[in-house]
Each structure stands twice: as structure tokens, then as C-alpha cells.
Chain A
Amino acid sequence: MDLIGRLRSWALARPRVLLVDAPGTTGLRWSLEAELDRRGWTHAVSPAQADLVVILGEPGPQLAHAVDVVWSQVPAPRHRMYVRDGVDVAVALDRGVQDLLGRAGSSAREVGRPPPASFLGSDDGGHEGMDHGGGHEGHHMHHGGEVAGLPMAMTGPDRDGLELDVLKVSLGPVHPGWPTGLVLRAELQGDVLAGADLSWIDAESVSEVGPSLDARQSALDHLARFLVVAGWPTAARDARRARDGLRSEEHARRTAAQRLAEEVTGKVLGSRTLAWAIAGAGRSQRDRGTSSAHPVLGRLRHWCDLAVGRDSANPPTPSLQDLAASLEGTEIGTARLIVASLGLDPVTSQRVPESAGA
């Protein structure tokens, strides 16, 4: 009967999902990701791509604000849902799609989307495209002040000895493949980080200790998240499947997952292309020119060893200060790889409430 309505429900039957995991909800995120993989739904890599924003657990005040910023960038039809611990994720997702359809079907247009400029000046970040200060010192005009509410930046010396414009961007705290809650305040010249500053949001309100997680499953999770950032979606999918299989009660599924874990780690470790693509990332200034230091690659091997149950000495995790310092002078993609390789988590990591600048 209602052809438009049926077409709409067919089109929106597999929405793109943007996950926001509040600290300490890792297990819940795993369940949700497993359910998404089972349904064949895809993860959104940016708010513009998302239909369904799923918030896991109870976000603190700063994270809640960041979610509002992200939410303001999601195009309609859209739906925002909260999933708490102990909820059946399959039921929750089904209800989410129903609500999304309800919003899409309702003839009343959405009102009250705040203009993007209203989020300017808020300090705890948001997403790209929103709160960067576009900076420009033209060769014809020298303006101070701001355009469209965005502050103008100054020029700065770059690594090749030139004077280039500096763009101030804050990345995170909500960003697919990025540790939720971590904010990178960056000064960018082109796609190179001229200055970096890392901090956790809601640092005061997060409990230090989270629920204990299986080491192998965590390792597979870190591996999967790293592979997403490295742009290898099929391997990331296999790593997630292995992680979810290991959580199963059935013995047969667990052995299958064990095999899959061995397969995917073998593929990752044996991949010359991946090694070639990420070799040298995270190498510090003084290691340059030597063949020895491949920190990102080393950490990847560590996660792979843990994932198949081999013993592996934990490589030291740098403090946020040291990490921020090591990000300077790297290209933004490399910086993302370095951060993803560390598997940072606000709950288990040593947190410094005040900003760790560099």
C-alpha cells in the first residue's frame, strides 16, 4: 500500500552506526560490534555518514557535550540512542531502527538544529570541520580578527624552514578508531602536526579501574581497531570475529575463533605490504637513519602475540606528554597510526587530569 513508506524502511534497514563508548564500557562495545557485524551493518567513519548514534554507558559531562556536537553534524534522518550495560543489544538495535524509521516517516521536519557557529569557542572539542580556527595570512592583506566566527591564525616556521600558515584543529574526543575521550589539540601545517597537545576529558569523574577483560580478547580488539585506522577492513573484520568467537560459551565456536585468530595474526604479521606501509611510523628523531626502530610495527607484533596466547613482554606505554612530543613533526595519518597502536584507554591508563602539553 504505502510504497514510499516501504521503500523508506527498506532503505534504512541497515543504517550506518556511529559508536560512542563512555569509559569502562569495553565489554558492551564488543557485544554491540559483534551484533553489527552479524547484521552486516557498517560503521560510520564520520558524523556526516552516520544515521544512528549509539552511546554506550553513561557519558561524563564533557563527553556528553562532545556527543551533542557530533549529533549536530549528523544529517537527518537520524536517531540517537543510549545503551546501558545488561541490555540485550539486538533488541536495542531493533528498537533503534524502528525509532529511526519513525523519525524519517514523520512529516514534521526536524526543528531546532543549532547553527554550527554556536559550538565555536567551546573548549572541549568536538569533531573535525566544526571547531577549527581557519587561519590565513594572505600575501595581499594582513587581517587579524575572525571570519565567520573562526579565528585567524598566524604563520609559523615549518620543518623545511619556510613560514607557513598554522591551522589549529582539535581532534576527538569522539572519532571512529580513536580512543574515546582523548583530545588532540593540534597545530597543523598542511597535514603535518607542528604542535600537539593530548588530554583526557572527564578525567576527574572516571573511575580508575574498569571491569577486567580477557587479555587475548583485548589484544584482538586493539588489533582490529588498529587495522581499521591502517585501512585494512577485511583483516579488521576477521580480528573482530575472532574476538567475538572467543567470548562464546560453545567450545566449537571458541576453537574456530582460535583458528581465526591464528589466521588473522599470521596474515597481519606476514603482510609485507602492511609492514612496508607502517614501517618507520613513530620513529623518534634520534632513531632516524637507523634501521632498528619501528615502534608501531613492534607494538603490532605484541598485540598479535597476545592474540594467539603467546607470551609477550609489554612494551612501555609512553605518558601523554611523551606521546604528544613524539607526534610533533609527523603527518596526521602517521599520528593516528601511532595512537592506534598504543591501545590507549582512559580507564586503565595512567591519567593526568591537567592537560599534558608539549
Chain B
Amino acid sequence: MRETATATLPEAWGVLPAVLAVALVGVGLGLVVASVDRAVLAGRTRGAVLEPLREGARLLLEQRRTTLAPDRLLWRLGCVAVPVLALLSLAVVPVGGRTLWSTSADLVWFNAMEALLWAAIWLVGWGPNAFHALAGGYRFLAQGLAYELPLMFALVTVGVAAGSLRTTDVLAAQDGLWFVVTMPVAFAVFVASAAAFAFWGPFAAPTSADIAGGVTSELSGVDRLLVEAGRGVFLGATAAMAAALFLGGDSGPWLPGPLWQLLKTLAVVTALVWVGRRLPVLRPDRTVEVGWMVLVPLTLVQALVVAVLVLSGFYA
């Protein structure tokens, strides 16, 4: 195990700088996701970095939408919760080999933030008292129930192989071999679930055009900015987490560690967007059955294979 494996970012830099740095990394990751997405959607790279910023400024100028008889408290609560949860999930993602917060249950923390997102999105759908928003929230929960177990099993597989739920331990355990080699199914499921809980790309049914934007259909101004930014940060944070859990994080020859991690995260984001935008939105009534009938057994077998490898001393 490496020396840095137990040191956290606040211990190294102080609490406030560490929190600020992680928040900045989060916003940066969100911006990266939005830019790559924009470039693929518009079919041109010109202005791809600037456009998400312009969109943000536009939304800051915009009036907030009010509807007839909304549940304003729950609605606003849901909107604020989305980016907050995204940043909280980033607390256990290693930045430069260290995490903002290192506990003995990092992987479960990450999963819990994603589960709290269910509640937040449902509130965003429920709040405005509008049919399309509600249908979007409904779809999100149906989709969530289907991807949750495969996602949990994917995380469990990583924990079993590393013998720890601490992200820095997982990094250390990949010194010899990246986990993606022995657990490709878990990697694929993790990345696909990232798109699903950020309701993005092929899993954008909760916000798709056939229900007028779904949960986001009644959002404008700063509310929409919060939800869209939270989405981007979540996607970026999960890409960074995927790079850490399966692609060896900051390990690599020649280049310094943080640069390697950035490159791997960028690679995951680009691959995700490039593949995701080549597919139409998948309807939940189709994906849900695949989640339950195919992915749950598949990830269970994956966990079994890894468990047998652990017992045979493969990862030691």
C-alpha cells in the first residue's frame, strides 16, 4: 500500500482549500461534460466550451417559473438538492490520489448520494403540479429501481476485490492490474448507471422530448441552472469515479499522477458522450426488464468470479 493511501485532502491542504478545490473540480468536470455533449450534439467543436457558460448566464438572467398551486417548498428543495448531492458524491472521489473525506465506507457513501438523488428528482417532478413533470419523476423512479441493484453489485465487486470500501484502498489494490481487466461487466454497468442516474443520453427518458422535457419541463431560471449543473457534475464525478475504481486512477508511466487521472476521466466522459449520443432515448418499459432480467444475474456472476479470484489469491 502506498504512503498516501490514508492521507486525506484536508490533512494535506487544510479544510477550506480542500473543500474549495473539490468544488472547483466538480464544476470543472460538469463543464467538461457539458462541453463535450454540446460538441457532439451540434456536430461542431466551435464554441463548445463557451456555450454551456452562455447558457448558465442566460439562465441566471431568467425569471423563475411559477405554476398554479405548486408545492413550492418541496420543489425548491429538490432543485437545490441535485447539485449539492453531486458535490457530496465527489467528496469520496480521489483527486490526485487523495479524497476530501476518507471513511471505511466510501463506496456506500457514493451510492447513498445517488439514492438521495432519487428523492430530489422526484421532488422536482412533483413540485410544480404539472403532469409532464410528474410523469418524468415517475419514469426516473422506475428506471432507478432497475439500475440500482446492478449498480450496487458493481460497487460490491470492486469492494470485494480491494478488500475495502475505501476509495484510496481501491486505488492501491490496482497497483498491479487495473480492475477493468477482471471486471469488465461491472465497469460497463457502472458507466451505464452513471448515465442513468444523471438521466442523460439514452437514459434521458425522465427529461425526454415526448413528455415536454419531463422533470425539467417547468423549470426556468436559477432552478433549471441548478438541476442541469447538478446533472453535469454528477456525470463528471461518476466518470472520475469510474477512472479511479476500474482504470487505476492516477497510476501510469511518465506523466504525473493527477494528469493521468484527468486523461482517464476525459476518456470516460468522451466515450460516454460519443456512444450515448449515437443512440435514441431508450424507453423505461424496455430498459427496466433488461435491468432486472439480464443485468442483475450478470453482475452477480461477475461478483462471484471476482470472489473466487480473491479466494485463489489473484489480487494479493
Binding site for B on A (CB under 8 A): 7-8, 10-15, 40, 45-46, 48-49, 51, 73, 75-77, 104, 116-117, 120, 127-130, 132, 134, 147-150, 167, 169, 175-177, 188, 190-191, 227-235, 237, 271, 273-274, 276-278, 331-334, 336-337
Contact = CB atoms under 8 A, between A and B. Distances in A.
Interface string B106-147: 000000000000000000000011111101001100000000
B129 A234 contact: no
A232 B283 CA distance: 12
Contacts of A147: 69
Contact of B138 (A77, A191, A229, A336): A191
Nearest to B223: A48
B68 A129 contact: yes
Contacts of A232: 279-281
Nearest to B128: A129
Contacts, number: 161
Most buried by A among B40, B57, B58, B129: B58
Most buried by A among B65, B68, B139, B208: B68
A245 to B, nearest CB: 14
B280 A11 contact: no
B279 to A, nearest CB: 5
A76 to B, nearest CB: 4
A132 B65 CA distance: 17
A122 B210 CA distance: 25
Interface in B186-244: 202, 204-205, 208-213, 216-221, 224
A14 B130 CA distance: 28
B312 interface: no
Interface residues of B, number: 54
Interface stretch (B41-49, B93-101, B253-261): B41-49
A273 B68 contact: no
A129 B61 contact: no
B135 A276 contact: no
B15 interface: no
Contacts of A15: 58
Contacts of B63: 75-77
B212 A46 contact: yes
A190 B134 CA distance: 9
Contacts of B281: 230-232, 277
A233 B41 CA distance: 7
Given A128-B131, A231-B208, A48 B139 contact: no
Contact of B132 (A120, A128, A190): A128
B285 interface: yes
Contact of A333 (B61, B202, B211, B217): B211
A167 B131 contact: yes
Nearest to A115: B68
Contacts of B139: 191
B209 A273 contact: no
Given A129-B68, A130-B68, A277 B62 contact: no
B63 to A, nearest CB: 4
B68 A75 contact: no
B202 A273 contact: yes
A75 B42 contact: no
A228 B281 CA distance: 10
Contacts of A73: 65
Nearest to B217: A46
Contact of B279 (A190, A273, A332, A334): A273
Contact of B210 (A76, A177, A271): A177
A309 to B, nearest CB: 24
B135 A45 contact: no
A273 B67 CA distance: 36
Contact of B280 (A14, A45, A128, A227): A227
A263 to B, nearest CB: 13
B282 A12 contact: no
A331 to B, nearest CB: 7
Contacts of A130: 67-68, 130
A12 B209 contact: no
A45 B214 CA distance: 10
Contact of A148 (B68, B209, B210): B68
B286 A276 contact: yes
B280 A10 contact: no
Given A77-B62, A229-B209, A273-B280, A7 B67 contact: no
A11 B42 CA distance: 18
Given A129-B132, A336-B210, 5 more contacts: A49-B216, A76-B63, A77-B62, A147-B69, A191-B211
Most buried by B among A49, A73, A278: A49
Given A227-B280, A273-B279, A48 B286 contact: no
